[in-house]
């Protein structure tokens, strides 16, 4: 009886293509580069010259994977003893973790479909990274000040939506008017489509919904909610980053504020005000409740040390 195979794979290029299938274009680009960087390390070629079939993944060993991890670790910036000293590396711990996760993922996939006999990366543990949420914290007053000082109607609505829905920047950039509908009790509802190709429905305050209706005028259902003033096309994530940065400067915030800071602020402020973690999880679209829990730990209100003398 002939052996049944899950997929016909002729080489590493085809394996990577199968692995990337179904992922978002942004994820495909990022993962493909991670794998090419691994192949670049193995072959000694520049990433731009690497062809995926230059490496036969069936010949990769645990030694190769561990050596690649050591190489990435060697590119981590070392602590600066003084302000004039430049870091010796250029990879953050999160970047190293993502690159190693990509390598482990493609090797695991190759094993799952029967192309690779062993997943040699199993013993390799992903590096733990520091929780930096507390370093990206905005108070309620800082957020309200940013919004209050934003005079442009479109930009102010972008800020409010980022904060009150906890949306990711790409989810706001891609909004169409068909995604914004009235909800019961005079509230509004926004349909967000984002990370992992997942859809979630977020209820918004009546005041914000009415402001959006006022801003909409006679624009059609398929029109972008926030078009670029120059092109009329949906405003880009880069433009939203600049809008947030400009509003933060107006509020006299010296921090390098980004749209994701408003998502962090949503989670932290909601938990501070007693919102159930499960509701915050659903609003933000976290798969795991432990992810939501990180926001509570980032700004704890209590510590056992408060009960100690000294």
Residues recognised as catalytic: 168, 195, 260, 263, 286, 295
By residue count, the chain amounts to: 310
Write down the H helix ranges in the chain.
12-20, 25-43, 62-73, 93-112, 140-149, 153-165, 169-173, 206-216, 237-250, 259-272, 277-284, 289-298
DSSP string covering 59-81, please?
G--HHHHHHHHHHHHTTSPPPPS
Quick check: 228 and 259 in contact, CB under 8 A? no
Residue closest to 111 by CA, chosen among 18, 2, 1, 3: 18
Residue closest to 99 by CA, chosen among 37, 23, 48, 15: 37
Instruction: Produce one character per residue of 20-38: b if its CB has 16 or more CB atoms within 10 Å, e if not.
Output: beeeeeeebeebbebbbbb
DSSP 8-state secondary structure symbol assigned to residue 222: T
Quick check: 172 and 162 in contact, CB under 8 A? yes
End-to-end Cα spacing for the chain: 77
């Amino acid at each position: 009886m002939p052996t049944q195979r899950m997929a016909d794979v002729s080489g590493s290029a085809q394996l990577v293509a199968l692995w990337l299938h179904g992922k978002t274009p942004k994820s495909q680009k990022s993962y493909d580069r991670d794998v090419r960087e691994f192949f670049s390390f193995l072959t000694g070629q520049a990433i731009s010259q690497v062809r995926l079939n230059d490496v036969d993944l069936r010949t990769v060993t645990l030694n190769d994977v561990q050596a690649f991890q050591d190489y990435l670790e060697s590119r981590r910036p070392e602590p600066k003893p003084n302000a004039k000293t430049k870091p010796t590396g250029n990879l953050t711990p999160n970047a190293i973790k993502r690159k190693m996760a990509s390598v482990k993922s493609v090797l695991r996939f190759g094993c799952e479909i029967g192309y690779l006999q062993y997943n040699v990366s199993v013993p390799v543990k992903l590096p733990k990274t520091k929780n930096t949420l507390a370093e990206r914290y905005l108070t309620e007053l800082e957020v309200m000040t940013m919004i209050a000082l934003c005079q442009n109607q479109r930009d102010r609505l972008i800020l409010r939506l980022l904060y009150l829905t906890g949306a990711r920047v790409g989810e706001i950039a891609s909004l169409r008017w068909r995604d914004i509908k009235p909800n019961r009790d005079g509230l509004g509802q926004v349909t967000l489509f984002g990370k992992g190709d997942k859809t979630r429905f977020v209820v918004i305050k009546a005041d914000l919904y009415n402001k959006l209706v006022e801003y909409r005028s006679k624009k059609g259902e398929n029109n972008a909610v926030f078009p670029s003033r120059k092109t009329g096309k949906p405003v880009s994530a880069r433009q939203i980053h600049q809008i947030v940065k400009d509003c933060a400067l107006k509020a006299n915030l010296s921090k390098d504020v980004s749209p994701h800071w408003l998502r962090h602020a949503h989670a932290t402020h909601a938990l501070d005000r007693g919102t159930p973690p499960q509701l915050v999880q659903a609003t933000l679209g976290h798969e795991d409740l432990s992810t939501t829990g990180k926001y509570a730990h980032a700004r704890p209100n209590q510590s056992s040390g408060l009960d100690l003398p000294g």
